[in-house]
Amino acid sequence: MIQLDLSNIRSFVPEDWLTSRKDRLEQARVMLEEGNGPGGDFTGWVHLPRDYDKEEFARIQKAAKKIQSDSEALVVIGIGGSYLGARAVVELIQSPNYNLKKKDTPDIYFAGNGLSTDALLETIELVKDRDFSVNVISKSGTTTEPAVAFRIFKNLLEEKYGKEEARKRIYATTDAHKGALKGLADSEGYEEFVVPDAVGGRFSVLTAVGLLPIAVAGIDLDELMGGAAEAMEALAVPGLENPAWQYAAARHALYTAGKSTEILVGYEPSFRFFAEWWKQLYGESEGKDGKGLFPASVEFTADLHSMGQYIQEGQRLMFESVVRFQESKGSYTIPHDPDNVDGLNFLSGKPLTFVAEQALRGTLLAHVDGGVPNILIQALRRDARTVGQLIYFFEYSCGLSGYLLEVNPFNQPGVEAYKKNMYALLGKPGYEEHRAALEARL
Ligand code: PA5
């Protein structure tokens, strides 16, 4: 299971940082378990690793096999919570270079997560002459970015295969009852998967939203869900030994002590999108009512040569949460060089992991000495089981942490402001007055 080392926050927070939060953590636990706190209608993810729809789960695996057999590429269309989880897991377990690797599973391209014309054209170019399928994902079914991308890729599929065959290559993941995508999927007869009502976008990676693309990439869904279920059981146990209680309390204590930024640190390039997923999870859950830690991320050691300076000596705003994988998938030993011109023979015969470990230890102490508290989060390895545990650990901690902060961790009212302006400026019917007011200001 996930383990925490909190020894390097001690000098920055009062001695009772954990014990003083015990009662509030217990209240938060009950609210999550019983779904009766603020936003309780959106706590369907809490028991998801146990209560997930087994029939749909089997259908996801079947659809993944079909895509693997008839497609060289899968275009996954979605944004925010309908995008980041799948990409995070595929990159963390497989590789950020997944598409470049020799493999017997399809390439995966993510589209509809922005409005860049060039990015869209590039993806079209990469898939148009190959056999491909599309998984369009939108809980609301009305989000502009994926809706526009879907229209384009749907046309491409229909031109390439004809309407009938195109239908068989489109998989729609959306609300069970409502939304434009649901209507389209019903009328066209696409295979449909559901984003459960009680699960918000940023908590949806273990639903069909994440699971279909993850399965297409050849990742074992039973292992992923098994890891999440292990974490669910372990983290439901109340007490100050609970790592989710510790993480939530540590973040809250550091926030109360004046820190405004949490930097999630990874030492694996494959961790980059997991950090993006984490930023959405914590940023959307806690950044409201004028409150919340700003979630940032860095990749070490690369960013030690850029952001490292600021972290060591800039404004003392931040603390670090370092995710360390205890095992690498492979090993590499630093070779001996008889000439030793580079002076590196003191490392000859040592595994590269030894060098990485000393970089982590040295950086941790340097940053703590520089006034940056450190939470060390230890996970076993980059496999499906561990990643399932890690996902659930961060989700559950996020729920606890939001309740400690006294916000509703499960809404995102701020996301609507830009959408309203964009709809108005685009000329969407019903937004005429708002459009005139905005145009007068621009
Ligand atoms: O967390 C959220 O609610 C958002 O990031 C949504 O996931 C994002 O806006 C996409 O929404 P939808 O799935 O409705 O297209």
Bridge partners of residue 325, in order along the sequence: 379
Average confidence (pLDDT) over 79-86: 97
Residue 328 included in any domain: yes
Range of the domain at 338: 3-36+225-413
* pLDDT beyond 90 at 226: yes
111 and 250 co-located in one domain: no
Residue 335 included in any domain: yes
From 230, 284, 320, 395, the catalytic residue: 284
* pLDDT beyond 90 at 198: yes
Q: How many A from CA of 82 to the centre of ligand 1?
A: 6
Please tell me the predicted confidence (pLDDT) of residue 417. Answer: 85
Among the candidates 219, 243, 261, a domain finishes at: 219
Please tell me the predicted confidence (pLDDT) of residue 59. Answer: 98
180 and 230 co-located in one domain: no
Average confidence (pLDDT) over 110-139: 97
Give the nearest ligand 1 atom to 80 CA.
5
Bridge partners of residue 134, in order along the sequence: 75, 170
Bridge partners of residue 170, in order along the sequence: 134
94 and 230 co-located in one domain: no
Please tell me the predicted confidence (pLDDT) of residue 312. Answer: 97
From 163, 350, 419, 420, the catalytic residue: 419
**Closest listed residue to residue 136, CA positions, set 170, 104, 107:** 170
Q: How many A from CA of 351 to the centre of ligand 1?
A: 43
Share of the chain above pLDDT 70, in %: 100
Q: How many A from CA of 138 to the centre of ligand 1?
A: 7
Please tell me the predicted confidence (pLDDT) of residue 420. Answer: 87
Residue 112 near ligand 1, beta carbon < 6 Å: no
87 neighbors 94 (Cβ within 8 angstroms): no
**Alpha carbon distance, N-terminus to C-terminus of the chain:** 53
Residue-wise pLDDT for 302-335, tens only, equals 999 999 999 999 999 999 999 999 999 999 999 9
* pLDDT beyond 90 at 419: no
Q: How confident is the model at residue 292 (pLDDT cuts 50, 70, 90)?
A: very high
Residue 201 near ligand 1, beta carbon < 6 Å: yes
Long-range contacts at 108-111 (CB < 8 A, ≥ 24 apart): 108/73, 108/74, 108/76, 108/213, 108/216, 108/217, 109/73, 109/74, 109/75, 109/76, 110/75, 110/76, 110/77, 110/78, 110/83, 110/86, 111/75, 111/76, 111/77, 111/146, 111/149, 111/153
Please tell me the predicted confidence (pLDDT) of residue 349. Answer: 97
* Residue in this structure with the two tokens 């809250």, named with its chain if needed: 252
Domain count, the chain: 2
DSSP assignment, residue 12?
G
Q: Where are the alpha helices (DSSP H) in 217-306?
A: 221-235, 243-256, 272-286
* pLDDT beyond 90 at 55: yes
Among the candidates 201, 219, 237, a domain finishes at: 219
Q: Where are the beta strands (DSSP E) in 107-229?
A: 107-111, 132-138, 170-174, 191-194
Please tell me the predicted confidence (pLDDT) of residue 416. Answer: 82
**Atom 15 (ligand 1): residue with closest C-alpha?**
138
b/e map 309-341, b = 16+ CB within 10 Å: eebeeeeebbbbbbbbbeeeeeeeebeeeeeee
Please tell me the predicted confidence (pLDDT) of residue 363. Answer: 97
- Domain with residue 197: its CATH number is 3.40.50.10490
312 and 343 co-located in one domain: yes
Average confidence (pLDDT) over 134-149: 94
**Closest listed residue to residue 263, CA positions, set 294, 300, 287:** 294
Residue 273 included in any domain: yes
Question: What one-letter code names the amino acid at 120?
Answer: L
Q: How many A from CA of 28 to the centre of ligand 1?
A: 25
* pLDDT beyond 90 at 172: yes
Bridge partners of residue 110, in order along the sequence: 76
Residue 326 included in any domain: yes
The overall average pLDDT reported for the chain is 97
107 neighbors 74 (Cβ within 8 angstroms): yes
176 and 265 co-located in one domain: no
